[in-house]
Structure 1
Amino acid sequence: MPRFTTSDGLSLHYTDDGAGLPLLCLAGLTRDGHDFDYVAPHLEAVRLIRLDYRGRGQSDWGDPETYTIPVEARDAVELLDHLEIDKTAILGTSRGGLIAMMLAATAKDRLSAVALNDIGPEIAPEGLEVIKDYLGRNPVWKSYEEAADVIGARMAGFDNVPPERWAQEVRTLFREGPDGLVIPYDPKLREAVLGSGAQPAPDLWPLFEALSGLPLCTIRGANSNLLSPETFAEMRKRRPDMVATEVPDRGHIPFLDEPEALDALSRWLKMVR
């Protein structure tokens, strides 16, 4: 089980598979390296590195006050140092995309390219409220089968997803506990996120502008409640060279193995090599 120790003493889990272009995959807020299980078989000739953030997946839990984007960006750099990787491309899903933009502003020399999955420099309030509603709370379902039966209907913006995908998805979202399903991350992540929400929302457009000069890709779920059409359009206006696509029948977040997503990632990777 590959692990490394951060500068503040936490042991974080990661996976490192394949050879070629280093591609660091950074997951969504509550998720881990399994976020990329669906796309991984389609990514050829890359060294696929997946990090479980502190407090998530198989990584150590820490002080909730360290569950922040700047600290998680520092962890990513320390992982690169541990692996002796000078530069990497980043595929960032949701929270992971925000970390990628932070790295562009603070450690750009370590980046070769960035792909953003359903995230931008403005976060739609309605999507954020949905996240706050479930964050840090165990689900009501007692089994994977029960969860799979209902979760697809509750996932806003998702259509034409086969039942077997939801059956697979619930096994990445939850773990089995003695009294039912439980979340695979530190529940105190809720405190960290809600605490940061008490402050005025920062202007993240400078972080997006920091991506200047890097090959850039943005994938948006056509029904996303987090990355609005207006923000997506402004991103395309500011970066007309950006590989940009929308995935039909998907909300937040696309699975990344949809044809539109795979085509966009393929075109983006050709810009890096």
Structure 2
Amino acid sequence: MHSTFTTPDGLKLAYDIHGTGKPVLCLAGLTRNMDDFDPIVAGFSDRAMIIRLDSRGRGASDYDPSPQNYTIPQEAADAIALLDHLGIDRTAIIGTSRGGLIAMVLAATAKHRLSGVLLNDIGPELDPAGLGHIMEYLGRPCAYKSYQDAADKLPKAMGAQFQNVSRAQWMTYAQRLWHEGPDGLQLRYDPKLRDAVQAQSALAESPDLWPLFHALNDLPLAALRGANSNLLTPECWRKMRNLRPDMISAEVPDRGHVPFLDEPESQNVIKRFMAYIT
């Protein structure tokens, strides 16, 4: 059962906490929610306080009546508001995709609040092919009629990036991403996220994100890359590792954007990261 807190601009955002010890805040991707971090709760709540947040407009959190507020800086401010609500001075962050971008922004703007960062299939360069793929489905109604239908069809739809995935894993994937309704599967996020992303993309050229990556200097850092990722390129991955040779890292075979976090490679990196942070 999740809890809620109220942001300074009046939205109720959902979060939950499992375990005790050093805090680890889990931030999900653009259209995702706290359920993506079930493997973190299952594997690591015996050694850390696992905090999971549904960003505004996602999961069980309120939708923003002003979609222009669906921005990374605003979502970073929401993460700080949650820490303040909980009375937590510093936390590590496990950030998947957009959640990792939020973590990098926080490293640049509120580094004193961070004890380390783990980036899940995200870096300071975003492959246009991957961004284009995201826009193909962002805010669009789900085409699957049921979880069973999704589990049957997802291997064909996503199999180029995600191989050796069992039907049970596809079922879990579907249950994390969609609600099952009388008319088929429903989005678990505000479809107006699409309007927000399109509006922001039209305003300016893509910013240089490398300064945000450099802001992670002097923080414990870990990273995962799906070996078949269409968002985090091999070239960007190599540059990240060259710039931070101390970065705990692994490529996850048979996974694209993003690894599920239950893979042995993912679990090993998370374990090492947990031991590294203070």
TM-score normalised to structure 2 length: 0.96
Matches of 2:260 and 2:176 in 1, distance apart?
Answer: 12
**By how many angstroms is 1:257 displaced?**
1.2
Match of 1:267 among 246, 263, 272: 272
Match of 2:195 among 191, 198, 222: 191
CA pair 39-16 structure 1, distance change in 2 beyond 3 A: closer
Matches of 1:260 and 1:178 in 2, distance apart?
Answer: 38
Match of 1:146 among 142, 145, 149: 149
Aligned amino acid, residue 199 of structure 2: G
**By how many angstroms is 1:64 displaced?**
0.5
Residue 38 of structure 1 aligns to a residue whose secondary structure is: helix
Match of 2:233 among 228, 231, 234: 228
Number of aligned residue pairs: give it.
Answer: 273
Q: Which runs of 5+ in 2 are unaligned?
A: none
Match of 1:91 among 86, 91, 94: 94
Matches of 1:35 and 1:193 in 2, distance apart?
Answer: 22
Q: Does residue 1:243 correspond to 2:248, yes or no?
A: yes
Residue 237 of structure 1 aligns to a residue whose secondary structure is: helix
Q: Which moved more, 1:191-200 or 1:48-57?
A: 191-200
- 2:78 maps to what in 1? 75
Q: Does residue 1:253 correspond to 2:258, yes or no?
A: yes
- 1:108 maps to what in 2? 111
- 2:54 maps to what in 1? 52
**By how many angstroms is 1:144 displaced?**
1.0
Match of 2:163 among 154, 159, 166: 159
Match of 1:180 among 169, 173, 184: 184
Contact persistence 1:56–1:186 (CA under 8 A): yes
The C-alpha deviation readout for 1:186-244, integer Å capped at 9, x for no partner, is 11000011111112000000000000000000100001000000000000111111011
Task: Please identify runs of 4+ aligned residues in structure 1 that moved more than 3 A.
Answer: none
Match of 1:171 among 167, 170, 175: 175
Cα RMSD (Å): 0.9
Identity %: 58
TM-score normalised to structure 1 length: 0.98
Q: Does residue 1:132 correspond to 2:154, yes or no?
A: no
Q: Does residue 1:213 correspond to 2:218, yes or no?
A: yes
Matches of 1:58 and 1:271 in 2, distance apart?
Answer: 32
Residue 78 of structure 2 aligns to a residue whose secondary structure is: helix
Aligned amino acid, residue 45 of structure 1: R
Aligned amino acid, residue 98 of structure 2: R
